[in-house]
Structure 1
Amino acid sequence: MKRIFTTYIFTLIVALMVPVALSAQFRLSAEVRPRTELRNGFKTPTSSGFDPAFFTEQRSRLNVDFKDEKYALRFSLQDVRIWGEVPQIFKEDAGTSFLSEAWGQYFVSETFSVKAGRQIISYDNQRFLGGLEWAQQGRRHDALLFINENPKTRTKLHIGLAFNADKDKLEPAYLQAPGASFYSVGGNYKALQYAWYNKTFADKKGSLSLLALNAMTQNPDSTVSSKQTFGIIPRVKAGKIMLAADLYYQTGKIGEQNVNAFLAGANATFQTKATPITLGFEYISGKDDDDTSSDITNFSPDYGTNHAFNGLMDYFFVGPANGNVGVIDLYLKTKFKVGKGALLLHGHEFMTGSKQLDGEGSELGKGMGFELDAVYVRKLAPAVTLHVGASALLGTETLTTIRPGNEKFNQWAWTMITFKPTLFDSKEEEKKKKKKKKK
C-alpha cells in the first residue's frame, strides 16, 4: 500500500508540473537497467564445492527535473529488484521501491544557491564522495548544501551539513523521550560537515580540489565519535600527458581509538595514436598484525564509488571492507575501438598495505593476486547502451589465508543494457515550435 501511494503521489506531481513547464524548464526522463551476473569468486575467493551465482537485478527509475528562474527541483522514483523474486500473480511485492532523490535548490544569486533534500553528493573522480551509481540502488545523502560557483574565477565552493535521526522514538515522544537522540541506523553517520573547494586552471590545464570532512558516528554507549578526512586532488595536463593524484589523510577518534590513516595514489595518462594508456598506483594504509597499539591505521574511503577503483571484482572496500589489511594497487588501463563499440582493459597487481601473519605467526607474502578486467561498451541507440564484462582474478596463498574461500582462480561475467530516454523536455519542445514558425 505504501509503495502504491508513493507512485500515485509521484504521478500527481508530474501531472501538476507539466502545465507549469510552459513558463519554465521541465524534463521527464526514465531509466531501465537490468544487469545479469555470473559470480564465481566475486568480492572474495570462492570455495571448492561452491556453485556459481547466476541472477539478474534490475533498476528502474522515473525522474522529474524542474527549473525556474529562482529555484530547481528534482524527484526520482526508483525500484530495485531481482528477477523472479515476485510471483507472476501476487498481492505483496517483495521488490524495493523508494524515492532515490528528492531535493530543491534555491538560487540566491547568479553564483550562490542553497540545496536541500535527498541527493547525490559526488566530487572529482568520486574516490571519497561519490554517487555509487554502479550499484543499482546508488548512494544518497539527506543533506543541506551551500553552493558558490563562479564561472569567471573558475572556482567552486560547496559546504554540506547533515544530521540524521531515526524513528525508534516516534514523534511526538521523539522530541523529548530519554535516548531520543540515539541514532541506530548501522553503517551511516549521525552528522556530517564538509567543505569542498575546486579551482580549474586556465586553458583547461587541470584543476585542484581540496576537501575537509568531519563524520560523526553514534557509539553504543550513546556518545558520539568524530573522524576527519582531509583530501588534496590535483589534476595537471603536461602536453599529451595528464597527471592526476589523490591524497587523503584521516584523523580523529572512534570511541577511545585514535585514527591515523592515509591514502596516496597517482597516475599518468598518455595519449597515443591508437589508444590512451594509464599507468598508476594506489597505496591505502592498513594495520600490521603485530601492531599492538589501539590506533586505527587502516584508511576507509567511506562514501566513495569504490567499484571504480582497485579492480572491478570489488575485492576491496565494496562489500567486505578488507579489514585492517589495506592494499597496494599497481594498475594499467587502456581503451580502444572495436567495431562500433569500445573495449576497456584493466590490469591490477594487488599487494597488502600492511604486514600480515599466518596462524603460526609467520609473515605472509605481500602479493595478493592479479586481476584482469575487460568491458565492451556499445551505443545501440541514442538512449540505449550495452555493456558486456568479464573479469578474472588469480589469487595467492596470502589472499586465501586472510580471506574466506580457498580457490585461487576466480571469475566474474556480466552483461547490462541501459535504456535511458528523455520522455519530455520543454526546451526541446520550444525549439521545435520555433523551427515550425520559421518554416
Structure 2
Amino acid sequence: MQKIKTTLLSIQGLRKVSISGANLSKSIYLGIALTFISYNEANAQFTATGQLRERTELRAGQGTLQKEGDKAALFNSQRARLNIGYSGYRFKVFMALQDVRVWGQDASSINRTTTEANNGIMLHEAWGEIMLNDTVSKIQNLSLKIGRQEIAYDDQKVLGSLDWLQQGRRHDAIVFKYANKGWIADVGAAFNQNKELNTGTIYNGTNPAYPAGTNGIGTMYKSFQYAYLGKKFFFGDVSFLFFKDDFNKYTNVTSGTPAVTSKVYGTGVWSRNTTGIYFNSAVTRKLNLTGSFYYQGGHDKDGRSISASLASVTSTLQVGRKLFVGPGIDYLSGTDGTKAVTADSKSNLFDPLYGTPHKFWGSMDYFYVASPFGKQGLLNYFFKMKYNAKDNLTFLLDIHGFEAANNLSNGAGGKLNSYLGTEVDLLVKYNLTKMINIEAGYSIMKATNSMASAAVKNVATPDLTPQFAYVMLNIKPNFLAKK
C-alpha cells in the first residue's frame, strides 16, 4: 500500500509539471502503469493455494497379509488443504490448514460426531521464518525458521514429508538455515511436552487417539537435534546428516490383581543417534547413481543399545528419449531371529526414522510403515522403469524382491527361508492441466510362507497373493493466479 500511495503522489506531481496535453497524457499513462506494477509487487507478497486430493482404495492384503476368504476393503479418503503465505521485509509466514477424512466416517450428514482417532481438521503447518541477513548481504540465505513445519532432505529416505499419507508428516521445531554458493547448512531442534506443566518435563510420548511415532514403534520422540550439510558439485550433490532423537525413560511397574504391568515415566532420556551420507551423481549424460549409508547407535525407545545400519544404491539409465530404467538395492540391518533377546542384548534393527517408506519399499507398504514387518531387517532388490509417453502422461513399473536381512527362526531351533516375497507395482500419472492430476496404481505380491510365519507376522491360513489398487484425483488451485 505504501508503494501504491507513493506512486499516486508521483502521478500528481507529474500532472502539475506537465504543460502540454500530450505530456500530460504520457504522464498519466506512466503513472497508471507504475501503479499496476506496484500493485503486482505488493500482491506477489501474498500467496494462497489449495489442494483437494481424493483417493479411492481397494485393499486385499495391503499393509498386512489377510486370511484366506477375507473380503477386500473399499473406501475413499480425502485431503483438503488451504495454504496461506506472506512475505514481508526480512520475514515469511506460512500456514496450512488441512482436513483429512474417510467418506462416511461422520455418523451423520448434519452433525459432526467424528472422534479424534479419525484425524479430521488439523493445522499441518504454521511457521515463521526470519531473515538474519539483509538484502545487501553476499550470503544467499541466513534465516531462522520456527513453528510447525515439514522437514525433508535428499531422497527423503530418513527425513521426509510422507506425502503419500493423507495427513502427511510434520514437526514442531526450530531450524537455523544457511545457504550460499551451493552450500546448505541446517541445524534444527524440537522439544515436546504433553501439556503445560508447573513442574518437571516428563513426556510419555503416547496419545491413545493416534498411534504415535513411525514404523510401528508406538512412541513419539521427546526431543531431537540435527545438523545437515550439503554441497552441489559439478558431478552432483553430496550431503551429511547427523540426527539425534530422544525418548523419555520409563520403568515397568506391575501391580493389582490380576497383575497388570504398566510404564511409569521418569526423568532422563534414551538417545538414538543416526549419522550418514547421501550422494546423487551424474556418472555420464545418461547414467545417474544415487546412494546413501547411515549408521545408527545409542539407545532405542526401550533403552536397548543399538548398532544398526542402512545402505542403498540406485541406478537410473536413460534409454532413448522417453525411457528410464535401472536396478538398485537397499539393505537395512535387523535382529537375528535365532538368537535369544535379553535386556542386555544389542539391537541391530535399523529404524529409517521419519522418512517416506512408501517411496522405497513397495506401494503395498509392508515394510517400515505402521506394521512390525521388517524387524529382521530387509534386503530389497528392485528394478524400476519409467516411460514418459507424453509430456503429461507417465507410466512407472517397479519390481521388488524382498528378503529378510537376518535369520528367521522356525520356532523349533531351525531357520526359515529368508525370502519374503516379490512385489510388482504399476503406476500411471496423467496431468489433465497444470493444476489437475489423475493417478492410478495397481500392486500385487507373491508372498512366501516365511512372510506369514510367527518370525515375521503370524497369519494363520494366509492369502499369499495380496493385491492393492487405487485411483487418485489431485487438484491444486492457485487462488491468486491470473486466468
Q: Does TM, normalized by the shorter one, top 0.5?
A: yes
The 8 Å contact of residues 164 and 183 in structure 1, kept in 2 or not, is answered as: no
Aligned to 2:167: 137
Query: 1:51 maps to which residue?
Result: 71
SS of structure 2 residue aligned to 1:399 = coil
| TM-score, structure 1 as length reference | 0.87
Structure-to-structure mapping, 1:382-401, within 5 angstroms = 382-401=434-453
Q: What residue number does 2:318 align with?
A: 271
Q: What aligned pairs does 1:32-51 form with structure 2 within 5 A after superposition? A: 32-51=52-71
Q: Which amino acid aligns with 2:443?
A: S
What is the CA distance between 1:22 and its match in structure 2?
2.7
After superposition, the C-alpha distances for 1:138-179 in whole angstroms (9 at most, x for unaligned) are 0000000000011x2x00000001100112xxx4xx122xx5
Q: Does 1:181 align with 2:202?
A: yes
Shift of the alpha carbon at 1:359?
2.4
Aligned to 1:226: 271
3-state DSSP of counterpart to 2:428: strand
Deviation of 1:292 after TM superposition, in Å, equals 3.4
Query: How far apart, CA to CA, are the structure 2 residues paired with 1:321 and 1:345?
Result: 26
Distance 1:413 1:91 in 2: 32
1-structure distance, mates of 2:227, 2:447: 39
Q: Does 1:237 align with 2:288?
A: no
1:21 Cα deviation after fit = 8.0
Equivalent residue number for residue 132 of structure 2: 108
Name the counterpart of 2:236: 206
Q: 2:306 maps to which residue?
A: 259
User: Displacement of 1:91 after TM fit?
Assistant: 2.4
- Aligned to 2:306, the other structure's residue is in SS state strand
Query: Is the 2:192–2:203 Cα contact (8 Å) retained in structure 1?
Result: no
The letter for the 1-side match of 2:358 is: H
Q: C-alpha distance in 1, partners of 2:41/2:113?
A: 34
Q: By how many angstroms is 1:24 displaced?
A: 5.7
Aligned identity (percent) is 33
Deviation at 1:366, TM superposition (A): 1.7
Secondary structure of the corresponding residue to residue 257 of structure 1: coil
Structure ID, larger Rg: 2
Alignment of 1:24-35 (within 5 A): 25-35=45-55
Q: What does the per-residue CA deviation read over 1:76-111, in whole Å, with 9 as the maximum and x for residues that have no partner?
A: 110000001125532224161011100000001142
Report how far residue 218 of structure 1 moved. 1.3
In structure 2, the residue corresponding to 1:22 is in which secondary structure? helix
Q: May I ask how many residue pairs the two structures share in their alignment? A: 398
Asked if the contact 2:367/2:374 (under 8 Å) is kept, the reply is no
1:189 counterpart SS class: coil
Whole-Å Cα distance in 1 between the matches of residues 162 and 54 of structure 2?
16
Quote the residue 2:457 is aligned against.
403
Asked whether the 8 Å contact 1:28–1:422 carries over to 2, the reply is yes
Asked if the contact 2:249/2:303 (under 8 Å) is kept, the reply is no
Distance 1:256 1:92, change over 3 A: closer
Kindly tell me: are residues 124 and 377 of structure 1, through their superposed partners in 2, closer, same or farther at Cα, counting changes over 3 Å?
A: same
Deviation digits for residues 152-208 of structure 1, max 9, x if unmatched?
Answer: 2x00000001100112xxx4xx122xx553334342110100000110002xx2110
Deviation at 1:337, TM superposition (A): 3.2
Consecutive unaligned residues in structure 1, runs of 5 or more? 1-18, 433-439
Q: Structure 1 CA distance, aligned partners of 2:97 and 2:131?
A: 24
Distance 1:114 1:33 in 2: 31
Counterparts in 2 of 1:265 and 1:52: CA distance versus 1, 3 Å: same
Query: Would you say the 8 A contact 1:24–1:68 is kept in 2?
Result: no
1:16 is aligned to none
Give the Å deviation of 1:69.
2.9
Instruction: Pick one of 377, 397, 408 that aligns with 1:356.
Output: 408
- TM-superposed CA distance for 1:251, in Å, is 0.2
Letter in 2 for 1:224: V
Give me the whole-angstrom Cα distance separating, in 1, the residues matched to 2:88 and 2:303: 50
Alignment map for 1:67-86 (pairs within 5 Å)? 67-86=87-106
Aligned partner of 2:188 in structure 1 is 160
Q: Please list the CA deviations of residues 42-75 of structure 1 after superposition, one character each: whole Å capped at 9, or x if unmatched.
A: 0111111211110000000000011123000101
Partner letter of residue 135 of structure 1?
L
Rounded Cα–Cα distance in structure 1 between residues aligned with 2:367 and 2:360 = 9
> Aligned to 1:423, what secondary structure does the other structure show?
coil
- Alignment partners' CA distance in 2, 1:71 and 1:184: 33
Deviation at 1:20, TM superposition (A): 12
> 2:146, 2:174 within 8 Å by CA — same for their partners in 1?
yes
| Whole-angstrom distance in 2 between the partners of 1:321 and 1:217 | 19
Q: Give matches, 1:146-157, under 5 Å.
A: 146-150=176-180, 152=181, 154-157=182-185
Contact 1:248 1:264 in 2 (8 A): yes
Aligned-pair distance for 1:23? 6.5
Partner in structure 1 of residue 474 of structure 2: 418
Unmatched runs of 5 consecutive residues or more in structure 2: 1-38, 134-139, 207-211, 213-218, 252-265
Preserved contact between residue 202 and residue 248 of structure 2 (Cα < 8 Å): no
Distance 1:21 1:84, change over 3 A: farther
Instruction: Give the root-mean-square deviation of aligned CA atoms.
Output: 1.9
* Aligned counterpart, 1:322: 373
Residue 333 of structure 2 is aligned to residue 285 of structure 1: yes
Q: Distance in 2 between matches of 1:269 and 1:23?
A: 42
Aligned-pair CA distance for 1:338: 4.0
Write out per-residue CA displacement over residues 396-426 of structure 1, whole angstroms, 9 at most, x where no aligned residue: 111111224311111000000000010015x
- Distance in structure 1 (CA, Å) of the matches to 2:394 and 2:458: 35
Deviation at 1:342, TM superposition (A): 1.1
Residue 353 of structure 2 aligns to a residue in which SS?
Answer: coil
